[in-house]
Amino acid sequence: MEPDQVSLPVYKNILETFLQEARFKLPPYKEDPSFDREIIDICLAQDLPADQMEAVARVGVATARWFYPSHDRETQVAIATFTALATAVDDLGDSMVEGLRQYRTRLLARQPLGVKVLQSLFDQVLEMGRFYDTFATDMVFKGAVEFCSANLVEIEKGALLKANKSAPEFVNYFRLKSGIAEPYAFYIFPENLLHGSNPCCHLPLIPDLVGFINAVNDIMSYYKESLIGNERGNAIHLHAAANGQSVVESLSDYQRSALVYLGRVREYASTELVLAEKVEEFIQGFMAFHLMYTSVIN
C-alpha cells in the first residue's frame, strides 16, 4: 500500500479506538420538523439551487441540535442559520468567486455585498450578537471573514497549497482559517449562561476546544473525503507530507492530539460547574454528528 493510502480496517480501528478513549456515548436526538422547515425556508430564499440549499439546511439543523441540545430554540435557529449559510459558501463558492473577491471591500465601504448568501451570512453574524457577548460575536465575525477568504484561496489557488517539511506549521495555520472552528467553540457559551458567574471563565477553554474541533473533524471526515472520495489535499495528507509521515501515522497523530485537547477541556470544565454540562454535551454531540455523517461505524 502507498504511504498516502490507508485501508478501511486500519482507519476503522483508529476511529473506534479514539471513540472508546474519548468515552463517547451516543446522545439522544429529537426530530423537530418545524425547526427543519424554518431553516430550509431561509436557505431556499438565497437564490441558489434548491436541492443543494435544502441539503445545507439539513447540515445546519443537525449541527445546532447535535452540538447544542440544551440551548433555547431561538439560539439554535441562529446557529443553524449561520451554519447552513457558511456551508452554502463552502459548497458553492466556485459560483460566487467575484463576490468572494469583493466582499471585504464592499463590507468596509458599507455597500451591499452583491451575493445574497454572502450578505445573509454577514447579516447572521450581526444577529448572533443577540445571544453572545461582544468578544464572542467579534470572534464569530473574524471566523466568517477568515472562512470566506480561505475559501477563495482554496478555489483559486488550492493546487498551489503544498505541504513543506521546512514549514510544517502552515498546515495548522491554514486549517484555522478554513475550518471556522472558533465560532462553534464560542457558541457553547451564550451570554445568559454566564450570568451570575465569572463572565470570562470559559475563555481559557477556547484554544483547546478549537484544537479538538479541527482534529476530530479531520479524523472523522477522512472516511468520506479520502476513502470514499479521493481527496489528497486535506489536513491529514498535508500533515503527513509536511512531517515525512505515512497517512496512518498522520491519523494517529491527530488521534493523540484530539485526546490531549479533550483531556484538558474536561479537566478545566470540571472546575466550573456552569461550564461542565454544556461542554460535555457539545463534546458528545460533536462526535455524534460526525459519526452519523461518517457512517463507517454502525
For residue 65, is pLDDT > 60? yes
Handedness of CA 9, 14, 17, 19 (dihedral sign): negative
- The pTM score is 0.95
The residue whose grid cell reads 485501508 is 7
Tell me the average pLDDT across 63-82: 98
For residue 1, is pLDDT > 60? no
Return the pLDDT at 225: 87
Smallest CA-to-CA distance from 15 within 213, 182, 258 is with: 258
Return the pLDDT at 295: 57
Return the pLDDT at 121: 98
**What are the φ and ψ backbone dihedral angles of 113, each rounded to 5 degrees?**
-80, -15
Per the model's pLDDT, the better-predicted residue between 295 and 63 turns out to be: 63
For residue 64, is pLDDT > 60? yes
Return the pLDDT at 233: 83
For residue 4, is pLDDT > 90? no
- DSSP for residue 28: P
Cell of 280: 460535555
196 — alpha (psi -120 to 50), left (phi > 0) or beta? Answer: left
Return the pLDDT at 161: 85
10 Å CB burial of residue 74 (0-12, 13-18, 19+) is: exposed
Percent of the chain surpassing pLDDT 70? 97
Answer whether 247's CB lies under 8 Å from 5's CB.
yes
Tell me the average pLDDT across 99-128: 97
Number of H helices, E strands in the chain: 13, 0
- Arithmetic mean of pLDDT over the chain: 94
Answer whether 64's CB lies under 8 Å from 76's CB.
yes
- DSSP for residue 9: H
146-to-262, 282, 291 alpha-carbon distances in Å: 25, 23, 27
Return the pLDDT at 296: 66
Cell of 218: 479531520
Lowest mean pLDDT among 1-10, 61-70, 233-242, 249-258: 1-10
Q: How far from each other are the two terminal CA atoms of the chain, in whole angstroms?
A: 26
- Tens digit of pLDDT for each residue in 135-172? 999 999 999 999 999 999 999 998 888 888 999 899 89
Give exposure, 150-183, as e/b (b: 16+ Cβ within 10 Å).
bbbebeeeeeeeebeeeeeeebbebbbbbbbbbb
